[in-house]
Structure 1
Amino acid sequence: MLELSWSGNTPDGAEAKGTIKIPELEAESEGDFEFEITVEEEDDSKRPIKEVVRTHLIPLLKEQFKKLGSDMVETHSKDVKIESSQLGPATPPRAVTPIEPAQIHTSTPPRSVTPNSDTVKSSSQTIVNTTNISEVVELQTSADQVYETLLDPGRVAAWTRSRPDIFRHIGSAFSLFEGNVTGTLLELVQNEKIVQTWRLKSWPEGHFSTVTIKFEQASDFTRVHITQEGVPIGEVDAVRRNWQSYYWNPIKSVFGFGALI
């Protein structure tokens, strides 16, 4: 959600001020934005200026917001082109070049790798031995901002530096980094949890892991708990580097959600 403040004067010279809230601001919107106009201490004398905001200021905002998605994607897509060889190296692992020369701060205890006794068959009948991984990341912002950053197409375009295919609907498929990361949204609990299938392009055909992301709101930051089930053995290091280098580091850098350590 985006919130703007405005101020002005009524016809009799009295000062008036308020806010304009835009609940959904997405890169792929075609101008169909919802605006909530409020006036502080609203009464009959201030209603004319509220109408001025509605009839004059709102159309100007619509024109600017219609350009937001394409401008954001164009700006950030010039910076980095991520090749498939950088995102998901096959065994033996190859080094992944991070977007920013930094490491992400995770909370203690260290992230764990949990052996999974099961094996998984992909659609091509290849038997995939898998394991589970987990980590905790701290971001200096609220839980609702992290939730929006992972789902809003405009924000995703900014931190992936490419045009994403992502829709905020359960059962919808998503594609990031020009198809190098794909999956399906399975569960959405606003500001609390995201569950999705997730795979790298280099994985055995038809094999998906399951990623659960939970948001824990602290006093002035948010703990993001990530659990990933069904990661192919031998891909664990590559997957960890991908989360750090292509998700959390860019999100911190683009939106200022914490210092890169």
Structure 2
Amino acid sequence: MSSMPLSTANWHWKNKNVTGWGKEWFERELATISITGDTDGQSVRVDSVTEVDGDVELGQRKSKLLTIYDCKITLQWSGKTTGGEDVSGRVVIPEVSHENTLDGHDDVVYQWELTTASSPDVLAVYQLAKKRLPAALEAKFAEFPVALIQTHGKDIQIGTPSASGTTTPATTTSATTSASAPKPTAAPTQKTAPAPAKAVNTAGVSAEASFMASADDLFSLLTDEKRIPMWTRAPAQSQPKEGAEFSLFGGGVKGKFVSLKPPTEVVQTWALQSPTWPAGHFATLTMTFTQSSDSTKLTLSLNGVPKGMEDEIRKNLEGYYIHGLKSIGLGTVL
């Protein structure tokens, strides 16, 4: 049986959770950082990574690999004064994510702590750490998504993933040059009537989660085209009014707004742009926002999912909508 073409096999949405690998990478790589001061004898180094809290995933949308991560990292650092005195401290980095390490939308924030008794020489080393360690750390953070794709891209994408997130098709053993290849003879074109749309047996799927956000904020994040890329990490088109078309995930999902009741409900037609999704078929996605005193529950109900695709679409709703919103720091409520 012939293999599935790359253009088809790599179209589907996929996610791989590699949080354990990510934690080990940060623990190993960040502990290699050391800095020498301008004054003889001064030095600073990262001793250990004591905490990596968050999620790391590699996703695929429309043949593109996307790094999805948001981690809080805590480091222990140490140094030497010009007189050989030991200095130690701690730094907490609340967010290391795709947004602030690759997109540059936000600066990386550092929360510094000195645990050695203060003196002029000790403070000089402390200032050296605060001045020089961030650049060295951010250089390592920039290496992380590259290593993530190189290590795990092959597990979710057919072909050889590169650091840029593209795919190189496998090399064939035989090739015919354009000069020697026989030119195909054009067959006469013949107009045919379009085949009638086939009836599709469907089912419904749903996903839900509660976020530490207001209903107004969640409603805006899911309908405002300027805010949607914050959690989809892809271009979007969305004019939140009845009858207007929308496009999410760089065209991976398309449809129209059926009705909007800010900030409690959005109803859309919804179609996945995939070879496995029946051509011309639309499901109906209803998003409801139920606000309580400290959070808002988002419920995604998708009716009209082709039979046999229920598990795939449910995972997509959870992975790309729910996890996408979680990845921008909203936090979920258990």
Give the TM-score band, short-chain normalised. 0.5 to 0.7
Selected match of 2:267 from 179, 195, 205: 195
1:85 maps to which residue? 11
Gaps of 5+ in 1: 1-82, 88-95, 103-122
Contact preservation (8 Å) 2:210, 2:332:
no
The alignment status of 1:126 with 2:198, answered yes or no, reads yes
2:331 maps to which residue? 258
Return the letter of the residue paired with 2:267: V
Structure scoring higher RCO (CA < 8 A, sep ≥ 6) equals 1
> How far apart are the structure 1 equivalents of 2:272 and 2:333?
25
Corresponding residue SS for 1:185: strand
1:72 maps to which residue? none
User: Which has the greater radius of gyration?
Assistant: 2
1:169 maps to which residue? 241
Give the CA deviation at 1:101. Answer: 4.3
> How far apart are the structure 1 equivalents of 2:291 and 2:270?
25
Selected match of 1:181 from 253, 274, 277: 253
Gaps of 5+ in 2: 1-8, 18-54, 58-194
Corresponding residue SS for 2:330: coil
Contact preservation (8 Å) 1:195, 1:213:
yes
Contact preservation (8 Å) 1:98, 1:246:
no
> How far apart are the structure 2 equivalents of 1:84 and 1:209?
23
1:156 maps to which residue? 228
Contact preservation (8 Å) 1:131, 1:229:
yes
Return the letter of the residue paired with 2:331: G
Alpha-carbon deviations, 1:115-165, whole Å to 9, x = none?
Answer: xxxxxxxx8422211011223211111111100110111210111111111
Give the CA deviation at 1:171. Answer: 0.4
RMSD: 2.3
When the two structures are aligned, how many residues end up with a matched partner? Answer: 150
> How far apart are the structure 1 equivalents of 2:10 and 2:220?
26
Give the CA deviation at 1:225. Answer: 1.9
1:220 maps to which residue? 294
1:28-107 to 2 correspondences below 5 Å? 85-87=11-13, 96-98=14-16, 101=56
Structure 1 residues 225, 169: CA separation in 2 closer, same or farther (over 3 Å shift)?
A: same
> How far apart are the structure 2 equivalents of 1:181 and 1:239?
12
TM-score by length of 1: 0.53
1:35 maps to which residue? none
> How far apart are the structure 1 equivalents of 2:10 and 2:226?
22
Contact preservation (8 Å) 1:252, 1:260:
no
> How far apart are the structure 1 equivalents of 2:253 and 2:292?
30
Structure 1 residues 234, 252: CA separation in 2 closer, same or farther (over 3 Å shift)?
A: same
Contact preservation (8 Å) 1:215, 1:225:
yes
> How far apart are the structure 1 equivalents of 2:283 and 2:312?
14
Contact preservation (8 Å) 1:124, 1:206:
no
Contact preservation (8 Å) 1:253, 1:260:
no
Show structure 1 runs of 4+ deviating over 6 A: none
Corresponding residue SS for 2:238: coil
Return the letter of the residue paired with 1:186: V
Alpha-carbon deviations, 1:144-203, whole Å to 9, x = none?
Answer: 110011011121011111111111111011111121100100000011100000011121
Structure 1 residues 169, 222: CA separation in 2 closer, same or farther (over 3 Å shift)?
A: same
Give the CA deviation at 1:243. Answer: 0.9
